[in-house]
Amino acid sequence: MTLEGDNTRARLIAESRDLYLEQGFARFSLREVARRAGVSAGAVYNHYDGKEALLREVCGEGFRIFSSYLLRALDAPGARERMAASAEQYLRFGLEHPRDYRFIFMGAAEDAERLAPPAHQPEPTFQFLVDRVRECMQARVLAKGKPDEVAALIWSHVHGLVSLRLSGHLSRFGSDAAFIRFYKHAADQFIAGLGP
């Protein structure tokens, strides 16, 4: 793809994400995306077959960004530290890319099903957490159990905190720096509670 094609694609993805967040799937329009991106409606179809294909690409791009955050956690020295770093990177992604976070994690359930990869393809970012859980179980940081279920518990906890922060429900903690301190403590306490 040419540089101009890459720029068009990036604009289409950003405008599609924002339009979806404003209006939802039912009112999402490729014509409006084209108008906002400053291209013709035909140009959108040069890149995507329809709105579901475009929104799946938006979802994929959000997960690519999210994955780049999670991979930073692998630099931590041990299993417990990698788990803590994974939770921290989850928060950093949410705070630094709130619109991508909202798109991939806070949309309507029916849209998540519509835009998700096929069921036989597990989501790599969830598998990343399952791997950290398995690693912590082997290191006796977490009690033995089903790694998928424990990963879902941990994800539910951190997702709840980040989503509440982004939706304004945890504004009582003040600045992002203050919230980060609270979040790290809360995540640490939660992980400790899952210990052997």
Q: Are residue 32 and residue 71 in the same domain, yes or no? A: no
Distance CA 179, CA 164 (A): 11
Tell me whether residue 120 is exposed, middle or buried, using C-beta atoms within 10 angstroms of its C-beta: 0 to 12, 13 to 18, 19 or more: exposed
Please tell me whether residues 40 and 69 are part of one structural domain.
no
In a domain, 53, yes or no: no
Size of the chain in residues: 196
| 88 belongs to a structural domain | yes
| 99, 25: one domain | no
Contact 124, 67 (CB under 8 A): yes
Instruction: Report whether 130 contacts 148 (CB < 8 A).
Output: yes
One domain, residues 44 and 105: no
Same domain, 43 and 76: no
Among residues of the chain, what percentage have pLDDT more than 70?
A: 91
What number is the average pLDDT over the span 186-191? 96
115 has a pLDDT exceeding 80:
no
- Give the mean model confidence (pLDDT) for residues 7-12: 88
Residue 54 lies in a domain: no
Identify the domain containing residue 127 by its residue range. Answer: 62-193
Tens digits of residue pLDDT in 80-97: 999 999 999 999 999 999
Which residue type sits at 162? V
- Token pair of 69, please? 């955050």
Convert the pLDDT of each residue in 134-161 to its tens digit: 999 999 999 999 999 999 999 999 999 9
Whether 3 and 84 have beta carbons less than 8 Å apart is answered as: no
Q: What is the pLDDT of residue 75?
A: 97
Residue 25 has pLDDT above 50, yes or no: yes
| Structure confidence at residue 1 as a pLDDT band (50, 70, 90) | very low
